[in-house]
Amino acid sequence: MATVIPYYRRWLRRFPNWSSLAKAPRRVVLRHWEGLGYYRRARFLHELARSVVRRFNRQLPSSPETLRSLPGIGDYTAGAIASIAFHVRAPAFDGNVARVMGRLLARHGHAPGWTQLRKAAGQWVPQKDPGTHNQALMELGALVCLPKKPLCPSCPFSRVCPSRKKLPSTSRQKPTPSKERESILVIRQGRTLRLTHEHPHSRWRGLWLLPTLAQAGIAKKTLFQISYPYTRYQITADVIPAPSTGKMIPGRWFNLDQAKRLPLPAPHRKILRLLGIG
């Protein structure tokens, strides 16, 4: 979280209200989202701003049901917004909260299933100060009731928690990331660089990308490798120089100064930085 705070502050300075975000072109929104990860969220937030301005007179609605009808807002986010911003009695139920509750409600070494936990989460939310309750559970899950080694002696529930000595078994297991390989091409013509919107797996829609191929080991000469996570994948990319002629990649040529100002995904921006052109 500490890493993204400066990016988040920069984002708020540029878009301090719904109107400024709704009015901004998509390209500018994506450019300012750099460093905050998951570009899908930036696209949703942009659509959300437009909905709030158009349908709700620039005021975000407070009911979880209406919030859920808006772009990019699911159960968890609707509950978090309604309870924290508007003091509505609604749960904010996510993986961290499920883990804490599963441990507190465990019986005979087994945590209840997801559906039971979700139901209990709704019943636990108090009328008074529901946002503080939700944030306390989230923080407890993030900082104390850790997935592998919970800090039980520091936990306010340590006297009553049935799991403080032995963690219960759960039905949910975190998937291990799948490994993927790819090649990222650096195609230059003098002081210009070829960029594209195409990606073999349709990732990062709307951003400019260095041309990417879904195979590795396609060239003898590799400049370097980078490794980065993308959703449930851990991707290793060979960064290779490619000739500027031959089979042309759909896209555009940009001079290097222009390329620096375009919205690029973080791994591609890192490549430009490592090449001394970002």
**Closer residue to ligand SF4, CB minimum distance, 30 or 140:** 140
Residue 68 sits in the site that holds ligand SF4 (CB under 6 A):
no
Tokens of 212: 């990417």
Phi, psi at residue 133, to the nearest 5°? -60, -50
CA pair distance 208, 263, nearest whole angstrom:
6
**Closer residue to ligand SF4, CB minimum distance, 4 or 136:** 136
* Count, residues near ligand SF4 per rule CB under 6 A: 13
Kind of pairing between the strands at 224-230 and 252-255: unpaired
Contact 212, 182 (CB under 8 A): yes
Instruction: Report the site for ligand SF4 in 141-160 (rule: CB under 6 A).
Output: 144-145, 150, 152, 155, 157-158
Q: State the minimum distance, in angstroms, from the CB of residue 137 to ligand SF4.
A: 10
Q: State the minimum distance, in angstroms, from the CB of residue 154 to ligand SF4.
A: 8
CA 138 remoteness from chain centre: 17
Q: State the minimum distance, in angstroms, from the CB of residue 152 to ligand SF4.
A: 3
**Closer residue to ligand SF4, CB minimum distance, 110 or 273:** 110
Tokens 């930085």 belong to residue? 273
The partner residues of 169 in beta bridges, in order of sequence, read 110
Residue 97 sits in the site that holds ligand SF4 (CB under 6 A):
no
Tokens 């091409």 belong to residue? 185
What residues contact 245, with CB distance under 8 A and at least 6 apart? none
Q: How many CB atoms lie within 10 A of CB 235?
A: 20
Q: Which of 45, 70, 81, 100 binds ligand SF4 (CB under 6 A)?
A: 100
Type and span of the H or E element at 188: strand 178-189
**Closer residue to ligand SF4, CB minimum distance, 83 or 163:** 163
**Closer residue to ligand SF4, CB minimum distance, 167 or 272:** 167
Residue 161 sits in the site that holds ligand SF4 (CB under 6 A):
yes
**Closer residue to ligand SF4, CB minimum distance, 97 or 100:** 100
- The binding site for ligand SF4 (CB under 6 A) comprises 100, 103-104, 144-145, 150, 152, 155, 157-158, 161, 163-164
